[in-house]
Amino acid sequence: MLPSYKRLTTALALLFAATTQATVLEIILPDQECGLVMFDVYGDYDWPGVGYGDYYGQLCQNPNAVVSMYASLYTYCKPSELESSIFIMNQWCTDYGEVPLANASLYAANLTKEAIATLPVLNSDDLPEDSNVTYAFLMSQAWFDVARVSEHWYDYEQRIEAYYTFAGFGFWAIILFFGVVQNVIRKTIEARSGYTYADAECAAIRSASNGKSNIVGRGMATLRKYVLTPSSLPPYHQRRFMGCSIPTRAESFVVLSYWIVTIVLSFVNYHGQANNIFWPTNAPQIWKYLADRTGTMAYGNLPLLWIFSGRNNIFLWLTGWSFGTFNIFHRNVARIATIQGIMHSIGYTGYYFSAGYADYYTENFEELWWSLGVAATVVMSFIILFSFSFFRNRFYENFLLIHIVLSVLLLVFLYYHTSIFDLPEYNYPFIITASAIWGFDRLVRLVRQVYNNARIRSGKGFTSTKATVTYHEAANILTIDVVPGNPSLFPGPGQHYYLYQPLRFFGWENHPFTLAHWSQPATPSDDLHLQFWVRPYDGWTKKLVKQCKANGGSTETIAPAMLLEGPYGASEPIHTFDQILLVAGGSGIAGVLPYLLDYVRRVEKGAAAGANGRIPTCTRNVTLVWADRREEYLRFIAEGSLAGLLDRPDINVSFHLTGDAQPSVAAATTPANVSSTASSSTDAVNSPVTPVEGAELGEKTVHQFGTEKCGVLASAAAYKKRATGGFRIQSGRPDVLSTVRKLAQTVQGTNSRLAVMVCGPNDLADNVRHVVAQNMETDRQSIEYFEESFGW
């Protein structure tokens, strides 16, 4: 991992590159407008002689045209405008006509005050458009005035288009800047812990979060309680409200602000003008300005929506915000861009019909750039349609494939759509940038894959990733044990990896899984084992189950070719809190258990350093509450990863068996009273429990996977034998909310802090989030909520 400042400079360099490219967007500055008025007026005629028949050829070189233009420039333009007006005229002559503008000094004799006074002065109705003009003439003041105002509003709208498009970038620059700053502050505070004397340093962290004496701390605490933590519509967050997940208030604030900014910028500052020299009525002007502005702003949103969608998004690292947060931004920017694309299409339709160009409108469909623009709007709309959660959740793989194919088409279509401009003014800053961002993400994915999965190791030669998949039928869980080709990865809590099965027909398919457990190699020749615990669903995970079962028996396991891409996600700094409450629902145990084990490792490290040593954690005790429907899964973990930890005074784990199942009595040495209460998560439950007395207490059980291969877990007797400590399984849902309240009370009014982390079903996570927010204090940041989510 790069240090923060290095990442920051990388980000700034990229931002700078994007804005300089933006200068490719052609805008006419106010003091250049007068020069273009000359082109507007004199460009409507033919000038026999030099350059005849070539638009810029005659306008820029024909003596009569040139003298007419300079004469009008000198007569009507402000002296301060002359230089930049001549500059832009010359630039257009060379860019579009490949000839320079004839120098005024060539016609000095014809451009004296006296000579100009002898020129005929014409009105626009004196000379029909496209006539052959064989003399120099001065336009009338009235003609100039109309042309000047027309040119002004045209150029003004173009400037506004560019400014408003970049205002969108500015908006996100500000948001991301705040994100980076808060992340740097937070990291700096946390960096004080971990490597120093726990007591002094933890006290420092406590006082940093203790806002009683300082307004910033109080402000942050209030912000955390009312804005950063709660959902916008509690208790809905992960759980759907009318098919939509509800962002937190902070996310909603950002997204809503962007909608408002965009809507306002799309609708203000339109100026139509009757008797405009380009269009005689207001309607076509407004339609065209609307169409151009929304089109440009839609292009401006493209790089943003690609930045926000990537797995390898530098702002993920810089701000510490979750992929889920950026995903919310991604979706909203995409929706806005699509609406803008549709408005652009409607705008041009309105323009052609209101300007009386209906014939051209239909003819234009024969032009590739036009039809591809229409196609792009349709494609964008379909992308949005196929992204509705209804489709996304049911057919994730198809959604993804369609999403990617349509996105490629979109970029190609838009590239052709705007390649009609002589300057690549839309393609470079927007289309190429968006493609580059995408390419960067894909490239980094590839690099990560090669880095993780292939390695030449001394003594071992070429090593590649090996995987062992085991299905534990009774627990309904797949364990995937991966030995990465590269043994020197740095596993940690909060990480997730994408797993590929490259030799399958859909080999590109990949799924994210949280790193649930790992074993570091003790010697360099040992392997690193990464373990993933996967609850099978309907797609790839179900196929894995099938493959496992097909392999049959209770001793077989499958070893498919597998690739590992990661790690993604960041460890939450919960070791800086005095107390930790971990809440897991079902397979969510994979998300929180690594933090418990991390705590244990940190304490061991501290103990190894001696009494005066540095304990790299501020945590004193950890409570884990876990509910699952399968008793076998509860036992599997209790006797596996948690073996030896359940008796410790600083670790309090409660297991809950939910659903219809009851804790098995067979496993217990003494039959127990079991009453299964199907209670809701809000009523207090301390139902009778089943004690499982470990027959051989203290037996050291190494966490082993693959001992029970495909098939049913070992018998109840085996549990008994391997159990290392008495652990009890309670039946019915845990009363998580009162646990949260109880623990919250223990920190209230003290200076210690509590971290609550949840990984589990939507309802569970949302309820805990809500209660945590309710129990937060406003004068200090005593409790913080963390969420590991298995979806976005």
Ligand X SMILES: *[C@@H]1O[C@H](CO)[C@@H](O)[C@H](O)[C@H]1NC(C)=O
**What are the residues binding ligand FAD (CB under 6 A)?**
392-393, 396, 496, 511-514, 516, 532-535, 537-542, 587, 590, 790-792
Looking at beta carbons only, is 387 or 676 nearer to ligand FAD?
387
Backbone φ and ψ for 374, nearest 5 degrees, come out as -60, -45
Looking at beta carbons only, is 185 or 503 nearer to ligand FAD?
503
Helix (H) or strand (E) holding 479: strand 477-483
Residue type, 205: I
Q: How far apart are CA 163 and CA 167, in angstroms?
A: 6
Residue 105 sits in the site that holds ligand X (CB under 6 A): yes
Among 7, 504, 549, 620, binds ligand X (CB under 6 A): 620
CB of 269 to ligand FAD, least distance (A): 42
Among 364, 652, 748, 774, binds ligand X (CB under 6 A): 652
755 - beta bridge partners? 580, 784
Looking at beta carbons only, is 53 or 243 nearer to ligand FAD?
243
Residue 683 touches which member of ligand X, ligand FAD, none, C-beta under 5-8 Å by kind: none
Q: How far apart are CA 30 and CA 81, in angstroms?
A: 9
Looking at beta carbons only, is 110 or 501 nearer to ligand FAD?
501
Residue type, 94: T
- Site pattern 110..129 for ligand X (x: CB under 6 A): x-------------------
**CA separation (Å) from 132 to 72, 127, 673?**
19, 10, 108
In the block, tokens 């802090």 appear at 753
Helix (H, G, I), strand (E, B) or coil at 97: helix
Looking at beta carbons only, is 578 or 784 nearer to ligand X?
578
CB of 447 to ligand X, least distance (A): 43
CB of 618 to ligand X, least distance (A): 10
266 - beta bridge partners? none
Angle at 704 between CA 699 and CA 706, to 5 degrees: 140
In the block, tokens 């349609």 appear at 385
CB of 447 to ligand FAD, least distance (A): 20
Catalogue the E-assigned strands of 577-680: 579-585, 621-628, 651-657
- Site pattern 564..583 for ligand X (x: CB under 6 A): --------------xx----
Looking at beta carbons only, is 42 or 315 nearer to ligand X?
42
Among 569, 625, 633, 596, smallest CA distance to 764 is for 625
Residue 774 touches which member of ligand FAD, ligand X, none, C-beta under 5-8 Å by kind: none
CB of 129 to ligand X, least distance (A): 10
Q: How far apart are CA 200 and CA 210, in angstroms?
A: 15
Helix (H, G, I), strand (E, B) or coil at 667: coil
Residue 63 touches which member of ligand FAD, ligand X, none, C-beta under 5-8 Å by kind: ligand X
Backbone φ and ψ for 159, nearest 5 degrees, come out as -65, -45
Number of amino acids touching ligand X (CB under 6 A) = 27
Among 9, 123, 131, 707, binds ligand X (CB under 6 A): 131
| Pairs from 661-664 (Cβ < 8 Å, separation ≥ 24) | 661/629, 661/630, 661/631, 662/731, 663/631, 663/689, 663/690, 663/729, 663/730, 663/731, 664/631, 664/690, 664/716
Q: How far apart are CA 482 and CA 534, in angstroms?
A: 13
Q: Are 753 and 209 in contact (CB under 8 A)?
A: yes
Looking at beta carbons only, is 26 or 397 nearer to ligand FAD?
397
Residue 527 sits in the site that holds ligand X (CB under 6 A): no
Structure tokens at 201: 């340093």
Looking at beta carbons only, is 6 or 542 nearer to ligand FAD?
542
Residue 303 touches which member of ligand X, ligand FAD, none, C-beta under 5-8 Å by kind: none
Residue 67 sits in the site that holds ligand X (CB under 6 A): yes
Please tell me whether the peptide bond between 671 and the residue prior to it is cis, using omega within 30 degrees of 0.
Answer: no
Among 6, 17, 48, 450, binds ligand X (CB under 6 A): 48
The DSSP call for residue 231 is: B
CB of 587 to ligand X, least distance (A): 20
Helix (H) or strand (E) holding 259: helix 249-267
Residue 552 sits in the site that holds ligand X (CB under 6 A): no
CB of 546 to ligand FAD, least distance (A): 11
- Site pattern 666..685 for ligand X (x: CB under 6 A): -----x-x------------
CB of 617 to ligand X, least distance (A): 12
Return residues touching ligand X (CB under 6 A). Answer: 46, 48, 63-64, 67, 90, 103, 105, 109-110, 130-132, 136, 578-579, 620-621, 623, 625, 652, 654, 671, 673, 739, 746, 752
